[in-house]
């Protein structure tokens, strides 16, 4: 099974350069194929082109909020079933509720999780 997970594609929608590099390098070291996007619009396009197995989504993006991008992804072929983990510094109850309404698998507040914990959540989600 680890061999199967290692081949999985992850779409990382994250505009912060440092966070994107940190997560991207950790994901690649763990054997995932990384598809990176810095805006919601780019993320939607890359979702359609790359058919990722899971999406890591930041909510604060330069062109739109992450929930708006996710709503658009949910409307494209394959988007309704996409597994999504939100990874954000926003931690309000209203955001948790919106994530749940949009079918997000888990909502991780960046400051509360280490890279190892994020990778564990990804593997756990992909194994379902």
Number of domains in the chain: 1
Give dist(CA 93, CA 100) in Å, integer.
11
Q: Return the percentage of the chain with pLDDT > 90, whole number.
A: 86
Query: Predicted confidence band at 91 (pLDDT cuts at 50, 70, 90)?
Result: confident
- Is residue 106 scored above 70 in pLDDT? yes
pLDDT, position 128: 83
Give the side-chain half-sphere CA count within 13 A for 33. 10
- The CATH number covering residue 79 comes to 3.40.50.2300
Work out whether the CA dihedral 86, 36, 1, 113 comes out positive or negative: negative
Tell me which residue range forms the domain holding 13: 2-127
Q: Which residue has the higher pLDDT, 94 or 5?
A: 94
* pLDDT exceeds cutoff 80 at 5: no
Q: What is the DSSP letter of 70?
A: H
Residue 73: closest CA among 86, 89, 62: 86
pTM: 0.91
pLDDT at position 41 is 97
For 36-66, how does the pLDDT look when each residue is reduced to its tens digit (9 = 90+)? 999 999 999 999 999 999 999 999 999 999 9
Q: How big is the chain, counted in residues?
A: 128
């Amino acid at each position: 099974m680890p061999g199967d997970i290692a081949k999985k594609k992850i779409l990382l929608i994250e505009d912060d350069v440092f966070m994107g590099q940190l997560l991207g390098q950790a994901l690649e070291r763990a054997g995932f194929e990384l598809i990176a996007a810095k805006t919601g619009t780019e993320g939607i396009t890359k979702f359609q082109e790359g058919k990722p197995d899971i999406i890591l989504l930041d909510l604060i993006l330069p062109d739109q909020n992450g929930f708006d991008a996710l709503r658009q992804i949910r409307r494209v072929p394959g988007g309704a079933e996409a597994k999504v983990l939100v990874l954000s510094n926003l931690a309000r109850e209203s955001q948790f509720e919106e994530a749940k309404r949009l079918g997000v698998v888990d909502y991780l507040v960046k400051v509360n999780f280490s890279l190892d914990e994020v990778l564990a959540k990804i593997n756990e989600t992909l194994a379902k």
